[in-house]
Amino acid sequence: MENFEWAQLNRGKHVIKLVSSVPLDVFQIAAPSHLKGWNRVSVETSDKDQHLSGTSVVNEQGERYRFRRTRRGHFDQIFNFSPGENQIEVTGLNLTSVQIVVRRSSPLKLFKRVAISAILDFLRLGVRRRNLRTVLQIIRARDFKSFRNRLVQRYNQAPLASNVEAGTITPQAWMERFMSLNPDDLLFIDDSIARHQFPSFSFVLINSGGSKNEKVITALNQQLLSVSEALTLEDFDPSLDNHVGEWLVFVDDDIEVHEAATFSLAFHAELHPECLMIIPDSAEKSGDLFTKIKANPPWNLDLILGGEGVGPLLAIHNSVISRIMKTGKDLSKSKNLTEIALTAYGCLGEEAISRLPLVLSTTTEQSEQVLLDTTITEYLREVDERIFISQGLCPRTRRIHWPAADQEPKVSILIPSKDQSDLLERCLYGIYESTDYSNFEVIVIDHQSNEKGALELLEKIDKRDDTKILEFEGNFNFSLMNNIAAESSTGDLLCLLNNDIEVINGDWIQELVSQVSRENVGVVGALLRYPDKSIQHAGLSPNLGSLYGHAHKYFPSGSFGYRNRLAVAHQVAAVTGACLMTSRELWDELGGLNQQLAVAYNDVDYCLKARTSGYQVIWTPFAELIHHESLSRGYDEHPKQRDRLAKESELFVNLWKDFLDDDPAYSPNLTLESTNFSLSDQPRFLPPWRKRL
């Protein structure tokens, strides 16, 4: 940067203009050293070709605070600077000139902004019944501090983005920042290769038609860790050991290979000697511009089967080839990389497969793997010939129909409820009248209802043969209520269901039953939408905005999310107890819900217990419901509820502190600051040449 000095225009105003002779994706500057207290920070660029994507302040403790974007697309926010060093960071695309202005401000000016923001949000979005109910409860409790904190938090935190592109860093900038090699990086790699005995690599080109793509061969010859040989799949003979490297790298014939690909694979293999198959991330290009980063989760079989396969590059240890041959499979006859990966998975199991969160290959255009649908169909036919596949919710996806039992297992639907007769009646109507599944019972656990309409409804449904009413007294305890209901139920499967759920599709129970009846699946959750059809629940991920956050929250109807995730049933870290199905056998094995977690995290705790016992948690978009979220609950900012939430959060963290970063559906290259699966400008996995720092 050619100019990076703050200019003090008067006692309370500082200005800096950051100028670069080459376009950048980030400007970083230390705030004025004496800056503290309330200040207004404005960030602008005068050139319309420059795009601002984010502004944040980082304090001495490394805590990052992101600013809210204005309606004009700039960043202008009142912020309380803590004493000490604070760094201002501006991100964007093609930035060459950015001006930052800092002016003294006050809490009163902040409150004015908060009030205006709340009014504008109300005019734009309307008001949810839950929010109105919460405001009335806060006023009755005279807990005005909570009211103020809630409004300020809403203003300060930028609204969750409801599309993948609304991130703080572009794919092009991300590749330049984290995957490009500078002279120091090259020296580190050369030195590492000289000092280590890294394994050797042979490349096998897929879909080449028997001839080698010279562009790919040139890229392989430029690998920093040299390639032993390059073969086409037609030339590859799995029965021979003497002409292949210790690792075989299978690649699509039309890809670009990162020059540090073999070095990265070797470095990863040395750190993880137990892994026998490595699947790295990939990217897409349009011309010379990177347009998409395909950040992979750990091996997630359901995503592979229902979505886009494994990607354009994977590495398999040579020892696996002989194991595959003993099964009668011939890799040289494979149609695509997904078939090779699934064949290896059948011999290895999931434990020997490692995800490498580095972009080591790039496709120049979006292209389907050849005969991917045929590959998936043939694989599933070997698993169970009763499985069949139909078209998914969007192109390039599949719906896998898992076989159901010959006789429908009985499902016990457990519904905690208190008053709110309109909610409960709508929920029950959907179960009784709009559900195709017939072998079920409903158990309503009533928590001291006194509303006339609710009492009349309970009396009416208690006369049904398929419904039972249980009374519950004392403080609200979601876990205890469901445990009591489960003890009183007679079903083979248990379905936890909130009373504010609305049934919109008749096959929702059948879909949950078919998923939970699969081998090694312990818990299944549904797609829950808000009344405006935007996403409320599509699986829970750790550390996504809180201890556990809702992935793809607020994505609108018609959006299929990151890499079509919202169209594919797949493994997730946890699902919400608003609609959760599990088997009675597993429920008893795990001891039901943890009654110490009366309100918060009891559903996540159950899912984590299932996963650590060897079962998978599956979320499916083919069981779709409306969730009128928590209309009957109070608000957690009330001092009593706040203390309860803090205790339950502390208990949950103590129980699972060694497991909180484990997520089968997320990548360390994706952000934890939003639920939209956008790229992180602070990825939690760095290339080995950057880790040296």
Give the pLDDT confidence of 296-330 residue by residue, as tens digits. 999 999 999 999 999 999 999 999 998 999 888 88
147-151, 300-304, 570-574, 618-622: least confidently modelled range? 147-151
Distance CA 509, CA 516 (A): 11
Mean pLDDT over 516-528 rounds to 96
Mean model confidence pLDDT for the chain? 88
Of residues 126 and 643, the one with the higher pLDDT is 643
pLDDT given at position 455: 95
Kindly tell me if the per-residue pLDDT of 151 is higher than 70: no
Neighbours of 225 (CB within 10 A): 22
Kindly tell me if the per-residue pLDDT of 636 is higher than 60: no
If one looks up domain 411-634 in CATH, what number appears? Answer: 3.90.550.10
If one looks up domain 7-105 in CATH, what number appears? Answer: 2.60.120.380
Q: What is the pLDDT of residues 222-266, one digit of tens each?
A: 999 999 999 888 888 887 766 578 999 999 988 999 999 999 999
Q: How confident is the model at residue 632 (pLDDT cuts 50, 70, 90)?
A: very low
Q: How confident is the model at residue 3 (pLDDT cuts 50, 70, 90)?
A: low
pLDDT given at position 155: 59
Mean pLDDT over 625-648 rounds to 65
Residue-level length of the chain? 693
Kindly tell me if the per-residue pLDDT of 143 is higher than 80: no
Q: What is the pLDDT of residues 366-404, one digit of tens each?
A: 555 668 999 999 999 999 999 999 999 999 999 999 998
pLDDT given at position 318: 92
Mean pLDDT over 590-610 rounds to 96
Q: What is the pLDDT of residues 260-291, one digit of tens each?
A: 999 999 999 999 999 999 999 999 998 889 99
Mean pLDDT over 198-220 rounds to 87
Which CATH homologous superfamily contains domain 171-383?
Spore Coat Polysaccharide Biosynthesis Protein SpsA; Chain A (3.90.550.10)
Amino acid symbol at 635: Y
Distance CA 580, CA 498 (A): 10
Q: Where are the domains of the chain?
A: 7-105, 109-156, 171-383, 411-634
- Which structure tokens are listed for 594? 């943890």
Mean pLDDT over 114-131 rounds to 59
Amino acid symbol at 684: R
Distance CA 509, CA 497 (A): 11
Closest C-alpha among 251, 275, 282, 272 to residue 667: 282
- Which structure tokens are listed for 518? 């699969």
- Which structure tokens are listed for 247? 């690792």
- Which structure tokens are listed for 535? 């996403």
pLDDT given at position 170: 86
Neighbours of 604 (CB within 10 A): 22
- What lies within 8 Å, CB to CB, of 655 at 6+ separation is 605
CB contact at 8 A, 474 and 564: no
Neighbours of 215 (CB within 10 A): 14
Q: How confident is the model at residue 125 (pLDDT cuts 50, 70, 90)?
A: very low
pLDDT given at position 634: 41
- Which structure tokens are listed for 678? 């956008």
Residue position matching structure tokens 């290896």: 344
Q: How confident is the model at residue 40 (pLDDT cuts 50, 70, 90)?
A: very high
Kindly tell me if the per-residue pLDDT of 637 is higher than 50: no
Distance CA 163, CA 156 (A): 20
pLDDT given at position 1: 46
Distance CA 114, CA 119 (A): 9
Q: What is the pLDDT of residues 420-479, one digit of tens each?
A: 899 999 999 999 999 999 999 999 999 999 999 999 999 999 999 999 999 999 999 999
Q: Is 400 helix (H, G, I), strand (E, B) or coil?
A: strand
Same fold, 7-105 and 171-383: no
